[in-house]
Chains A and B, each alone.
Chain A
Amino acid sequence: MAPQVGLFIPCYVDQLYPQVGIASLKILEHFGIDVEYPESQTCCGQPMANTGCTNEVAPLAKRFLEIFKSYDAVVCPSGSCVSMVKHHYDEYFSENKEYDELKAKTYELCDYLTTVLEIKTLAGRFPHKVGLHQSCHGLRELRLASSSELVKEPFGPARELLESIEGLEVTQLQRADECCGFGGTFAVAEEAVSCMMGEDRVHDHEQAGTEVLTALDMSCLMHLDGIIRRQKKPIRVMHISEIFAECL
């Protein structure tokens, strides 16, 4: 029997980017996964945690565990929310076996595709120059790709998946894994720095010839897209799941 996956769609994706949820669902079902979307889910608590409001996170963390503990795996199209669940919930659960299990079975979508389902290539065609934005939490907390600071063998399964798509060319950036400047409440609290960082990211992609800008995290893309549209740049923004779904 196909494993039952609990689909974790972060609150802002649910509300603002339903197409990302739909694409994620489509991909998982395409690969024969039995997916359920538990309706009582809301938010993992990341915005509160990043602001230091841990008391406000506690009830959300406990709810999250209750909602998702019974699935074989939890899959989410957002690295930073997955990192929240895997790396920042410990203080709410002391020696809780259920939480330890949840931690081990929660995956970012591309991670699930490549490490659990062992998918290495995707069929389909996407004849565009695609710029991959390496979202920091996926990169440096979940280690979903190698970061430029560390002396390690380079790797990047999501990039490899993209490159396996016919006609798709991944662009080469000057600063391969620099932060986009979103950073949750940082985007508002440090508006000036945040926007300059975003602008620089967009500029790097422009120079590299990116036509479609993608990432494993919609939050970075929300910020970059906001800048791109304000400045009327000819770059289209798509979550990586949307590209994959188009290729099915």
Chain B
Amino acid sequence: MKGEKILNDGLMNIFEAHGINRRDFLKYCAATAALFGLSEFEFSSKLAYALESGSKKPSVMWLEGLACAGCTISLTQSLHPPVSSIILDKISLRQHDTIMAAAGHMVEEIHDQTVKEGGYILIVEGAIPSADDRFCEIGGRPFRKIVEEAARKSKAVLAVGACGAFGGIPRATPSKGISVTESLKKAKIDKPVINISTCPVHTDHLVGTILYVLVTGNIPELDSNGRPAMYFGDSRLIHDNCRRRAHFDAGEFLNDWNDPRQKDWCLLQKGCKGPMSHSDCSIRRWNDGINFCIDCGGVCQACGEPSFYEHVTPLYTVESESSKKIMAMKKAGMFTKEES
């Protein structure tokens, strides 16, 4: 295999120490390369180069604001590649309060030093309070200021989860959480932000975007909401790839979770927002493809959209603004499937 030659044994040993064998690794390269629109050869050589070129690993700073740590947990759930190989081999994780050994003043020192050096990837989990800075302070400093200062000197900013990308649930609370983009705009900081929404961020979306930026040195193509087009974007409608879709078209809607006959029926009447929700969940699924919201009989709440949560509530009926739009679209025949 082409990729194999590029990977010397030293590198393979590292991967193997983390429990990825050669075959898994090459499989992973192939899949990721396809996703990035690179050849497998190009991808693995770039990755190998990025990993082996001298001692300097790209530095990454992860800050957490008005958040629940769900996106951090998504990071730790990465199995392919394992999170330990990302954290120890691929990046220099300068700051991540949930993971790092340091505490207290040492965190501040590392933070200041990293900001001084500049050129890092900044990842922000959680929203930024706009009602009052005191709703989120770290080390006695407003989170808003910490983000602004870190963004100025960063190479790229990743706003993760519904909260970081669009304000998410905190937007509807007294702390009035706003997105990273809005916050930087207010401070007149001109930095492109990659929004990787959903609540929480999807492990693959997060890891894939980090790797994309590291390997190509570029920002991936973004959709109109600033989200990586390879995971979101117009063509990635949950509804179009939902396995309950035939029942939607046939007008069969689940109303009793106990009825085995209805097990796969459309969840529209239970509040499903799949018809207005962009993400590849229904193809990629979650947690290594084990399942996703709709297949467990739960509903898609459009957690990757800017409208989440304020405009998708009430969640489990068709009374929300979002559901009303969907119903109107349905009535107008916008979901009629062409015969094939």
**Real binding pair:** no
